[in-house]
């Protein structure tokens, strides 16, 4: 089916159909959705080069990912998030461009080159940091962007998608309180990671509200690796009054806690309980907050695509709720605790 046939099928002019597919703001949202659904249903694919020439856009969204750490493609949930972005891009007739940077200087260079070459119409920013310089850099380059997470800047000054950390922490703590646990440990991410900071904020606030004990010694900031979590859990379990339950910041951290328990002959859910945050699809025996990274990626791309199509139009940020999935790694607090 070509453009003329699609327009005739919809009873619209070719100009209206073309503008709807190319994201022009003067097309009503209902018409835009109707045209895109019909195009998808009938397998219509506009010529990408022709669209690019007609709109003056690259029809590409960019990601600059870190080689290692929270912003890497191998980080928990990152691959699913990028896949969700890709699905939204595909439906909108966009492509994605992924770059890898080894440090902050390489990342800045990558953004500047993308802007200079007009290779992308906008970018998704991953793993925001405290006092993150990237939003100001991108604004100065004229590159629209959306952030996966929050940067610490006023939240109405940029577009973002993030996990609802308050909800996730509340679900985890209420579960442990209902099982009679009083001594909780948090094995969190690095101190400069804003996701970890959000989690710690709500853990501190809600433990006081619920009446649980979170001693300063039971709060550990470390990298999100299995080895680091194992070492931290070993130290905590060797204390005079060890925690009866652990909150682990990632799937890898959860594995580290389970290893530490196993080395002491303990079983998660019996001698000590374990709840894992930021867990994607995985071991169903582990009680976890499973963050729908793919849905978050789709939403971030949709926010950014709308901003590109309608400059100056602000869209509400998106808080994404994680699913609380109960497994065998939680159980009643030990009677002798």
Q: How far apart are CA 45 and CA 154, in angstroms?
A: 40
CB-facing half-sphere around the CA of 137: CA atoms within 13 A: 17
Residue 335 lies in a domain: no
Distances (CA, A) of 105 to 98, 148, 166: 17, 20, 33
- 119 and 188, same domain (yes or no): no
The parent domain of residue 15 ranges over 3-54
Residue 158 lies in a domain: yes
CATH of the domain at 19: 1.10.260.40
- 283 and 297, same domain (yes or no): no
pLDDT in tens, 147-175: 999 887 777 778 899 999 999 999 999 99
Residue 21 lies in a domain: yes
pLDDT in tens, 249-302: 998 999 999 999 999 999 999 999 999 998 766 678 899 999 999 999 999 999
Residue 112 lies in a domain: yes
Task: Report how many domains make up the chain.
Answer: 3
pLDDT in tens, 303-335: 999 999 888 777 788 899 999 999 999 999 998
Q: CB-based burial of residue 33 (10 Å sphere; 0-12 exposed, 13-18 middle, 19+ buried)?
A: exposed
Q: For residue 55, which of 26, 21, 97 has the smallest C-alpha distance?
A: 21
Residue 327 lies in a domain: no
- 84 and 63, same domain (yes or no): yes
pTM score, whole prediction: 0.78
222 contacts: CB under 8 Å, gap ≥ 6: 187, 188, 189, 190, 228, 229, 232
Q: What is the largest CA-CA distance in the chain?
A: 77
- 205 and 282, same domain (yes or no): yes
Examine the fold and report which residue of 275, 291, 307 is the final residue of a domain before the chain moves on.
291
- 62 and 176, same domain (yes or no): no
- 148 and 193, same domain (yes or no): no
CATH of the domain at 263: 3.40.50.2300
Q: Which range (37-46, 108-117, 253-262) has the least confidence? A: 37-46
- 47 and 62, same domain (yes or no): no
Looking at the DSSP bridge assignments, the partners of residue 62 are 97, 123
């Amino acid at each position: 089916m070509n453009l003329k046939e699609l327009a005739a099928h919809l009873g619209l002019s070719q100009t209206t159909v073309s503008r709807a597919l190319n994201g022009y703001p003067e097309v009503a949202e209902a018409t835009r959705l109707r045209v895109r659904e019909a195009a998808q249903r009938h397998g219509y694919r506009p010529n990408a080069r022709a669209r690019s020439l007609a709109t003056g856009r690259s029809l590409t969204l960019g990601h600059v990912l870190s080689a290692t750490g929270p912003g890497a493609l191998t980080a928990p949930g990152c691959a699913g998030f990028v896949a969700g972005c890709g699905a939204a891009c595909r439906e909108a007739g966009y492509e994605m461009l992924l770059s890898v940077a080894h440090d902050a200087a390489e990342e800045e260079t990558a953004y500047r080159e993308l802007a200079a070459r007009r290779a992308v119409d906008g970018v998704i920013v991953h793993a925001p940091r405290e006092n993150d310089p990237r939003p100001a850099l991108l604004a100065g380059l004229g590159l629209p962007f959306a952030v996966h997470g929050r940067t610490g800047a006023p939240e109405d000054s940029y577009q973002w998608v993030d996990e609802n950390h308050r909800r996730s922490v509340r679900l985890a703590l209420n579960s442990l309180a209902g099982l009679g646990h009083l001594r909780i440990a948090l094995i969190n991410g690095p101190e400069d990671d804003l996701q970890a900071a959000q989690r710690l904020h709500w853990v501190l606030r809600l433990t006081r509200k619920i009446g649980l004990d979170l001693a300063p010694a039971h709060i550990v900031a470390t990298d999100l690796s299995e080895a680091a979590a194992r070492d931290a859990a070993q130290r905590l379990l060797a204390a005079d009054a060890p925690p009866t339950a652990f909150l682990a910041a990632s799937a890898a951290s959860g594995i580290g806690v389970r290893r530490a328990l196993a080395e002491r002959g303990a079983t998660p859910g019996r001698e000590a309980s374990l709840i894992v945050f930021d867990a994607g699809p995985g071991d169903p025996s582990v009680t976890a907050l499973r963050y729908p990274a793919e849905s978050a990626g789709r939403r971030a791309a949709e926010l950014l695509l709308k901003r590109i199509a309608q400059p100056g139009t602000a869209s509400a940020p998106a808080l994404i709720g994680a699913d609380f999935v109960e497994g065998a790694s939680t159980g009643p607090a030990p009677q002798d605790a």
